[in-house]
């Protein structure tokens, strides 16, 4: 009787260890929109935003545990990118300032054409501070097959001397919640047993129909007070990811999903590609890594948007 009780306790401890873990979620969005309003009013805008956070996993539920790095937003203003706003946020002002300096130093290398337009007028503000306590103010849930359902972010920020215009549209953690919606479909076939992952080797399968309008317009509305009034990103056709196993070793299996066809989103802007890479533990079916990248572009790359997100288990 004691032996049975011992094994039961051991099983519970093992299950708890497998179902509870820390994960880092991060995202990076980069976009440039260039064109005309009403046939004659030209506009041009560059935008980049990124953030990360640590979530504790309990079975299928994830809850915000720690904001592990500074977040930021860069955006040009005016009809010809003549000025740039660079805002940062973190729990400590010092680290946020260090990130700001690093971003400015790399801007001329990574985005030379944008930098040449705006380098004479850089709008800097004191870093925003993440209000404490923030633990549990952003949550999401998985269904065990790849689909994620997030809550709205309730994280708040404070800055000593802020202007409402800048504060209102510095929505890095609300955008984090929107980017979790990019995981809006399953990467495993319906009814598939996670403990038989090796059976997928050599097979291909399709996801359900997928539409990213919530991400495209959700990000746009949180990034600007005007752009979404003139520009409407709408995925004209639903798509499906085609999944296959691309690597297997003793510990993990790597699954790759991609979209082959291009779909119109706005004017000449098309969904050029969408790729999702998942690494799962062969023994437990636990997610080790889940990354997605969505790319929009027109023929000449004058307009482009890339949406990148990654969920990675911390060892």
> Using an 8 Å Cβ cutoff, are 207 and 243 in contact?
yes
CA–CA distance, 70 with 93 (Å, rounded to integer): 9
Residue 85's beta-bridge partner residues? 75, 123
Tens-digit pLDDT profile for residues 18-36: 457 999 999 999 998 876 6
DSSP element (H, E) containing 36 = strand 20-37
Q: In the 8-state DSSP scheme, what is residue 200?
A: G
Domains of the chain: 20-313 (2.30.230)
Q: What are the φ/ψ torsions at residue 254 (nearest 5 degrees)?
A: -110, 125
Q: In the 8-state DSSP scheme, what is residue 239?
A: B
CA–CA distance, 176 with 289 (Å, rounded to integer): 17
What's residue 89's pLDDT? 96
Average pLDDT, the chain: 88
Strands (E), 61-130: 61-66, 71-77, 83-90, 122-124, 128-130
Say which residue the tokens 């990130």 belong to: 99
Give the 3-state secondary structure of residue 155: coil
Instruction: pLDDT band for 232, please (50, 70, 90 cuts).
Output: confident
What's residue 168's pLDDT? 53
CA torsion through residues 214, 216, 222, 224, sign: negative
Q: In the 8-state DSSP scheme, what is residue 302?
A: S
Tens-digit pLDDT profile for residues 60-102: 999 999 999 999 999 998 778 889 999 999 999 999 999 999 9
Q: Residues in the chain, how many?
A: 315
Lowest mean pLDDT among 13-17, 117-121, 199-203: 13-17
């Amino acid at each position: 009787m004691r032996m049975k009780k011992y094994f039961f306790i051991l099983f519970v401890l093992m299950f708890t260890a497998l179902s509870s873990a820390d994960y880092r979620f991060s995202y990076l969005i980069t976009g440039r929109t260039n064109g005309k309003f009403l046939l004659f009013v030209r506009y041009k805008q560059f935008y980049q935003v990124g953030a990360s956070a640590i979530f504790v996993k309990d079975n299928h539920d994830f809850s915000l545990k720690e904001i592990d790095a500074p977040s930021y937003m860069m955006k040009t203003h005016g009809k010809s990118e003549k000025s740039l706003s660079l805002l940062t946020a973190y729990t400590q002002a010092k680290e946020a300032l260090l990130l700001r300096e690093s971003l400015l130093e790399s801007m001329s290398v990574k985005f030379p054409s944008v930098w040449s337009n705006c380098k004479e007028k850089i709008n800097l503000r004191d870093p925003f501070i993440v209000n404490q306590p923030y633990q549990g103010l952003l949550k999401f849930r998985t269904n065990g097959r790849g689909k994620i359902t997030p809550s709205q972010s309730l994280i708040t920020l404070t800055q000593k001397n802020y202007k409402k215009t800048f504060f209102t549209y510095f929505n890095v953690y609300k955008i984090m919640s929107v980017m979790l919606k990019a995981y809006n479909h399953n990467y495993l076939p319906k009814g598939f047993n996670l403990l038989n992952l090796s059976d997928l080797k050599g097979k291909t399968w399709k996801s359900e129909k997928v539409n990213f309008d919530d991400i495209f317009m959700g990000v746009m509305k949180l990034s600007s007070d005007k752009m979404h009034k003139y520009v409407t990103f709408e995925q004209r056709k639903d798509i499906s990811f085609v999944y296959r196993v691309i690597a297997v070793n003793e510990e993990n299996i790597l699954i790759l999903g991609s979209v082959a066809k291009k779909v119109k989103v706005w004017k000449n802007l098309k969904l050029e590609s969408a790729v999702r890479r998942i690494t799962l533990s062969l023994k437990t079916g636990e997610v080790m890594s889940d990354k997605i990248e969505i790319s929009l572009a027109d023929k000449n790359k004058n307009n482009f948007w890339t949406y990148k997100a990654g969920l990675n288990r911390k060892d």
